[in-house]
Structure 1
Amino acid sequence: MGAQTQDPQDGRDAIVFRDAAVRRGEKVIWQHGNFAIPAGSVTAIVGTNGTGKTTMMKAELGLLPLASGSVTVLGRPAGEANRLIGYVPQSYTSDIDSNLTAEQSVLLGLTGTRFGIHPITRAQRERATQAMSFVGIADKARYRLSELSGGLRQRVAIAQAIVSDPKLLMLDEPLANLDLASQRSVAHLLARLNQELGMTIQVVAHDLNMLLPILTGAVYLLDGHPHYADMRKVLDSKLLTHLYGTNVQVVTTPQGDMFVTPSLDEPEGQPMDMHTAAEVAELHHHAHTPSMHHTDHAAPTDRSHKE
């Protein structure tokens, strides 16, 4: 793994939507997509369930035809630059054979998923080792996926996606079903991939909080239209309340830390999944980056897996 060299794409927009629309049957999922995502950014696709977040990522990968308009990715029509894209699907842990070892899984990022026995070159094995080392699982190379926690399997998935040195890394709900510590470590890993290797990163996310320290912008699907804005504009209480259909507050402390919290006027007795002050401080210590002074304050999902 190494920092990526300059090429003509650097400094340009990584993804460009021009009046893009997607239909499913007669139903318009979203339309009038007109925006550009900068190269070198860390961007979330956010919105409530059913608004078309995964659909957007599939359109960018050329897996779903557009009803109208165009999507350009890394300077090429969607689908034509996929060899330069690392992709981590939400269903990775259920789709891949859990009897594979971590190393075998990562090598699939180089050899593909073709059936049969494929000779592995020394160079390929070295690249797999480098990818596993970067994500912190080199010591788990011989473990079967079935022996690894959810957090470690997610790191295997990311290692497989980055082993071919992509320019763009796309992840669909990478923090789903992970405990707080695993969510934090994955977010920190994404920050390192962006800062140290220069990867442009796009994440489908239902909850923004854990990603706040690393995000530079967000695509939000609202009223059937996708929009893009930098995080300073997205982190607006009125916008987030409209976006999620429930009262949301954006709170800034005197230290400049930012929190997204459920509004205090939630019905009495409403269960609220909030981090403790100690957890927030721990996140701030590990995942905070100089460019974004944001800190997490709420809503990891399922915490059944321990890393």
Structure 2
Amino acid sequence: MEKEAEPCIEFRQAAVQRGGRTIWSEGTFAIQRGTVTAIVGTNGAGKTTMIDVELGLLPLCHGSVTVLGRPAGQANGRIGYVPQNYMDDVDSNVTVDQSILLGITGTRFGFHRVTREQRGAVADIIDFVGLHGKERMRLNELSGGLRQRAAIAQALVSHPDLLLLDEPLANLDLASQSAIVELFARLNREWGMTIQIVSHDLNMLLPILTGAVYLLDGHPHYSGMSTVLDSQLLTHLYGTKVEVVTTPQGDMFVTPNPDMEPAGHGDGTLDASEAACFFKQHYAHSHPAGQQSQGATPSRATPQSAAATQPDTATQGSTQGSTQGFTQED
């Protein structure tokens, strides 16, 4: 019971440098198990660097970080990781089931024994992420949304306790983004999985987030969403005037205030009324992760089918450019 009460991730006065330059420092916070957390900040603030630190790939110059109760890098067998440029690390000619199997066997292609249990685990994950019937397709034959599902499936096949993702919604059309977010919601709700997501755009993730790590003035901070969704804080964070819109149903949406921005700065984003309409259309049936993950965790041995997820599309919808919400380019 005491072990279960430990935070999933804990920073203590953590600081990191690259090339002799301090990226961020004085990081002291804890992220609890069973939460869904975003890592947000401007270009160069050190969002991906934070993931590298948690994986033990980049040493600290000061302080400490523990992940799943152990020093960073020592519990990576219990962590699933999806990098931003997943296709750069995988042969695009491999099939979906081959790529997912790599999550169990590592990089060992060629002749090696694959057990019936391993094949069963791959089949279960394929069903869960909604790739049934596409097992033998090559990765380069899939749409962007389906490739992202395959990347997530590879990270999930070993049933990790923590899932780390770097910009998993980047370059996806709105239908694919919404389907991937729904997949995250199911992982948190049905598996009780702790999820941490590097993202520029909070809006697509808002229905499932319990908190956010925000990199501000060279320091990482962690707060629940009720604190993060503050116009003054977000304006300071992104360097442009930001409004937090509340819909009549009580849902929140982040949007620039076009009346208070430099000319052309907010092109392609939503005003308050459009934000409310967009949120109602895309998240009418969503529930915050903080309400979903409080019960007992179901068994992860037989994940449910992905019938509830939305279909991916291979081409971008005509509304993508005008309905992206508040997004900063990295």
TM-score (structure 1 length as normaliser)? 0.90
* Alpha-carbon separation, structure 2, partners of 1:159 and 1:195: 17
The match for 2:268 is 272
Q: Distance in 2 between matches of 1:225 and 1:268?
A: 30
Q: Find out whether 1:298 has 2:325 as its counterpart.
A: yes
Q: CA deviation at 1:300?
A: 6.8
How many Å separate the matches in 2 of 1:199 and 1:166?
8
Q: Which of the numbers 173, 184, 204 marks the counterpart of 1:179? A: 173
Matched with 1:236 is 230
Q: Which residue of 2 aligns with 1:3?
A: none
How many equivalent residue pairs?
Answer: 294
Deviations 1:233-287 (A, max 9, x none): 0000000000001110001123201110111323455512336766432311243
**AA paired with 2:325?**
A
Q: Check whether the contact 2:40–2:215 (CA below 8 A) recurs between aligned residues.
A: yes
Q: Report if the CA contact (8 A) 1:170-1:202 is conserved.
A: yes
List alignment gaps of at least 5 residues for structure 2.
Answer: 293-322
Quickly say closer, same or farther: Cα 1:102–1:239, change in 2 above 3 A: same
Q: Could you say which residue in structure 2 is the equivalent of 1:94?
A: 88
Other-structure match for 1:130: 124
Q: In structure 1, what is the Cα distance between the partners aligned to 2:11 and 2:327?
A: 31
Q: Percent identity over the alignment? A: 63
For the structure 1 residues 191 and 207, does the alpha-carbon distance in structure 2 shift closer, same or farther, using more than 3 Å as the test? same
**86-95 vs 284-293, which deviates more?**
284-293
The one-letter amino acid paired with 2:218 is G
Structure 1 letter corresponding to 2:268: M
> Which residue, 53, 70, 87 being the options, matches 2:64?
70
Match of 1:211, SS state, is coil
Q: CA deviation at 1:138?
A: 1.7
Correspondence for 1:32 among 26, 29, 32: 26
Cα distance in 2 between the residues matched to 1:179 and 1:60: 29
Contact 1:53 1:204 in 2 (8 A): yes
**2:182 aligned with 1:188:** yes
The answer for the alignment partner of 2:54 in structure 1 is 60
Could you tell me how far apart the structure 1 residues matched to 2:39 and 2:207 are?
16
Matching residue of 1:224: 218
Quick one: distance in 1 between partners of 2:41 and 2:3?
Answer: 29
Q: Which residue of structure 1 aligns with residue 250 of structure 2? A: 256
Tell me if the contact between 2:188 and 2:289 (Cα under 8 Å) persists in the aligned partners: no
Q: Could you tell me how far apart the structure 2 residues matched to 1:46 and 1:290 are?
A: 18
Output the CA distance in 1 between the equivalents of 2:277 and 2:195: 29
Which residue of the other structure, out of 37, 49, 61, is the alignment partner of 2:43?
A: 49
Change over 3 Å in CA distance of 1:291–1:28 after alignment to 2: closer
Please, which of 147, 152, 157 is the counterpart of residue 158 of structure 1? Answer: 152
**Partners of 2:209 and 2:290 within 8 A in 1:** no
**Aligned 8 A contact 2:209 2:225 in 1:** yes
Query: How far apart are 1:49 and its partner, in Å?
Result: 1.1
Q: What is the CA RMSD across the aligned residues, in angstroms?
A: 2.1
Cα deviation, residue 84, structure 1: 0.3
Unaligned runs of 5+ in 1: 1-6, 303-307
Q: Secondary structure in 1 aligned to 2:58?
A: coil
Task: Give the secondary-structure state (helix, strand or coil) at the position aligned to 2:226.
Answer: helix
1:12 to 1, 6, 24: 6
CA–CA distance in structure 2, aligned partners of residues 77 and 200 of structure 1: 17
SS of 1:13 mapped into structure 2: coil
The yes-or-no answer on 1:284 pairing with 2:283 is: yes
Contact 1:249 1:261 in 2 (8 A): yes
| 1:61–1:82 contact (8 Å) kept in structure 2 | yes
